[in-house]
Amino acid sequence: MQSVETPIAPEKMPRHVAIIMDGNGRWAKERGLPRSMGHRQGVLALRPVIEQSIRWGVPYLTLFAFSTENWARPKEEVGALMGLIEEFFYREVEELRSQGVRIRILGELSALPERPRRLVERAVELTEPNRRLTLSLALNYGGRAELARAARLLAQEAVEGKLRAEDIDEAALAKRLYTAELPDVDLLIRTAGELRISNFLLFQSAYAEFVALPCRWPDFDEQQYAQALRQYGARQRRFGGLEARERQ
Ligand code: IPE
Ligand code: IPE
Ligand code: MG
């Protein structure tokens, strides 16, 4: 395979990058356009970040596309977002499949309108054997809802006698999250400058490095991605312990 230069040393590259894709509305407003145009432009930013992740050898990419709280937006905006989700899966699934992308969904799909839901389910099925990049899309996802669901699943198994209370540990909980097969988040990027987590991957981001970039999501490109990676590469991760040189 052709070697590709990564923005930081390959051994320092994160395994799991998660992105809160924010600022579509502001991107549109700054141009005197309706918010839905910002979302449309935001969808166009997806392909480069997916392809770049493949090229740089990031095996897990997770994107926050629609939160459980986003239903509170005006009906037209929610409708536009659902339409774009449908369009994205309809248009892109073949290409993604041929690139070796496995698509997974984090969140409660059953609440989505039927057309986008069906296309999403089909995309998950079609790309299941792929392993080059695992692309998880958080759709109707909320970190608290996910934790409550995991607690419900554990309680159900306990009631059925399949699990004892004393067997419930961090790993048992992690296994009941939508992210069961994914590693913890290494790098959490948020665009549009906001410094909050907005109910995204609360459990999985426990030790993620947070990088906030001012650029609006539709402007997120290879340079922005590389910049986030360089910030990540310069950090010392400690996981509550000490660095090797501090330990002496
Ligand atoms: C992110 O952009 C996309 C979704 C939340 C679906 P926003 O729509 O939140 O954009 P801003 O924050 O209003 O600029
Ligand atoms: C988080 O962005 C959700 C997504 C990017 C899908 P929001 O724009 O909904 O978050 P808040 O409301 O600014 O916290
Ligand atoms: Mg926002």
Residues 63-82, mean pLDDT to the nearest whole number: 98
* Chain mean pLDDT for the chain: 97
Whether 3 shows a pLDDT value over 80: the answer reads no
Whether 245 shows a pLDDT value over 80: the answer reads no
Kindly report the protein residue whose alpha carbon is nearest to atom 12 of ligand 1: 23
Catalytic option among 24, 70, 169, 184:
70
For residue 69, what are its two tokens?
Answer: 């709280």
Residue 206, domain member (yes or no): yes
What CATH number did the domain enclosing 61 receive? 3.40.1180.10
Range of the domain at 66: 10-141+185-233
- CA of 158 from ligand 1 middle (Å) equals 40
Give the pLDDT confidence score for residue 217 in this predicted structure.
99
Better-predicted residue by pLDDT, 246 or 182: 182
Residues 94-110, mean pLDDT to the nearest whole number: 98
Question: For the chain, how many structural domains are there in total?
Answer: 1
pLDDT > 70 fraction of the chain, expressed in percent and rounded: 98
Residue 179, domain member (yes or no): no
Residue 221, domain member (yes or no): yes
**Residue 70 annotated as catalytic:** yes
236 CB burial (10 A radius; 0-12, 13-18, 19+): exposed
Residue 151, domain member (yes or no): no
User: What's the half-sphere exposure (Cβ side, CA atoms, 13 Å) at 94?
Assistant: 3
Give the pLDDT confidence score for residue 25 in this predicted structure.
98
Which stretch of 3-7, 74-78, 112-116, 183-187 has the lowest confidence by average pLDDT?
3-7
Residue 240, domain member (yes or no): no
Atom of ligand 2 nearest to the CA of 64: 6
| Helix, strand, coil abundance in the chain, percent, nearest 5 | 50, 15, 35
Residues 168-195, mean pLDDT to the nearest whole number: 98
- Determine the Cα–Cα distance for residues 217 and 179; give it in Å rounded to an integer: 24
Whether 2 shows a pLDDT value over 60: the answer reads no
Residue 84, domain member (yes or no): yes
Q: Which residues line ligand 1 (CB under 6 A)?
A: 21-26, 66, 70, 81, 192, 217
Pairing of strands 60-67, 133-141: parallel
Residue 159, domain member (yes or no): no
- Determine the Cα–Cα distance for residues 169 and 188; give it in Å rounded to an integer: 25
Residue 213, domain member (yes or no): yes
- CA of 35 from ligand 1 middle (Å) equals 8
